[in-house]
Structure 1
Amino acid sequence: MTSRNLSPGWLKFIKSVGIEFWLPLPLLGLSFWFVGGWLTEQTLSRPSKNLTQLKTTQPDYGKKIALIKVEIYPQQGISLVTVKKAENKISTRYTKSQIILNTTHIPSVEAKISNELGISRERLRNKLRYRWEQ
């Protein structure tokens, strides 16, 4: 028995292709890996030139607002809104202001508060606390 008779067919194919084919494959793979990583780093670290600055027409009070408490009085048909704002971003001092609304319907209360404070309804809902009075 010779080793030639024991070798499978795919091993014979590898031997027939030769070392000239198999030797550069790992070098080619490593070069693609390094060049691809370098191109990715260059592309992602460069700032995009087509982004435009967004201009806001109203000041953003959403970051200064700590809490919005809404007390709903259905018997009288009014809602009392208490807004608690921080004096600055890292302050522990707060100022309170109150707004009286002539509605008890929650979507219209949210719309009026949103218009009054100039913040979106999504940001407003994160800070709202409701209380129903009898």
Structure 2
Amino acid sequence: MDFDEFTGTVQNRLELPGTGEAVRASRATLLTLGQRLPEGNAADLAASLPMEIKWYMTGAVHDHGQRFDWSEFVDRVTAIEQTDPAEAAYHARVIIDLVHTLVPESDFQQLRDSLPEDDDWGNLFEVVDA
């Protein structure tokens, strides 16, 4: 999958009006996730993604491994995407679901293992009908 296919899939799944909105939602989710994950984990997860998408999790992040909870994750995605928290959380779940289809299961499991189980992070992995 290349960048255009990725953003087109995000746009379609989220029923967004344009590519710009799909790019903004993807960037918001993956940049924030990259900030939360240790650098090596972010690089492993991003390795199978299109180069431009990979950049959001790796090259665009200056401070990996930050400690923040699910609520702060949603707040950060909301601010970057310029949407409301419920929509940002939904967008993040759909984008992570797409990422799950593109990366090796071991890398996705590493993502799950990197996030605390007791801090509502399971919300990120809720099954979505997209």
Q: Is the structural similarity TM-score above 0.5?
A: no
| Larger Rg belongs to | 1
TM-score (normalised: structure 1): 0.29
Structure with the higher strand share, 1 or 2: 1
Structure with the higher helix share, 1 or 2: 2
Q: Which has the higher contact order (CA 8 A, sep 6+)?
A: 2
